[in-house]
Amino acid sequence: MHMGGLERRLFGTAEPDDTLPPVGARRWRSRSRSRSRSRSWSPRRVARDIPVGPSVFVVPGPSYAQRPRHARFWFADGGCVFVVGGTEYKVHRHLFPGFDAAFYAAQEKDAVDRFLSILYPTNYVDSEAKTVADCLAVLSIAHPRHPAIVQLAIHHLSAPALFSSLSAVDRLSLSQTYDIQAWRIAAVRELAFRAEPLNVEEGRKIGVDMLVVIAAVKQEVLANLGRYVDEGKVGELIGREVERVKKD
């Protein structure tokens, strides 16, 4: 009985017939073609392969090599780089605890320059922060990362020439923001005894808590006038008025 090539190969009765494919080859090629088709391009497959998650969008801009460097506050050995108003700054990391490039990039360039002039002074005797605006700019950037510079700016603001230009509302607002205890009591007393009431803008500036404090102080003084008024000064006032009436 004649056996075909497949039977001879299965039972080992003859040499393999090269004209026939190996056992299971057709099935393998079928799966291979199916798998190949499944891996072919399709919109659904492309969509599936796109990674899902938070994306980072980079705003196009000039490279670091193209940005102008600050003439004074760019140091070759600096370790912190940030850009303000299109100008690149490179400063030393040990001077910037908790460095955040985005924080400095969001500030006004003049304010950053004034702040850095404290960290990198050209004159150790005379500060470059000379005006109220200068000191406030330094305060806004230095707080809370640079407490020593905060104290220095407050010291400059306490000088009579600058302090006199701050209203009681300004002093009270600053005392809350930067915890300046020495300014708070005097500012509350001045506002509590002020003849005209606080307006809306002033109220917003000092906040509801301080409005309540001022109202409470004013009420207490009016309700207990004799306790808080200097009797000696009141006596002098009465004497002057009596003398004035006699002369009339």
Within-domain flag for 10? no
pLDDT at 31: 52
Q: What is the number of structural domains in the chain?
A: 1
The CA distance from 172 to 183, in Å, is 7
Listing DSSP states for 106-168 in one string gives TS-HHHHHHHHHHHS-S-SSS-S--SHHHHHHHHHHHTTT-HHHHHHHHHHHTSHHHHTTS-H
The CA distance from 152 to 138, in Å, is 9
Within-domain flag for 169? yes
Within-domain flag for 49? no
Mean pLDDT calculated for residue range 192-197:
92
Within-domain flag for 111? no
Q: Around Cβ 117, how many Cβ atoms within 10 Å?
A: 18
Domain that holds residue 222: 121-247
pLDDT at 28: 47
Within-domain flag for 143? yes
Q: Say whether pLDDT at 56 is over 60.
A: no
pLDDT at 20: 53
Mean pLDDT calculated for residue range 59-77:
79
Within-domain flag for 228? yes
Within-domain flag for 149? yes
Within-domain flag for 198? yes
Write the pLDDT tens digit of every residue in 139-155.
Answer: 999 999 999 999 999 99
Please tell me the least confidently modeled range out of 41-45, 182-186, 224-228: 41-45
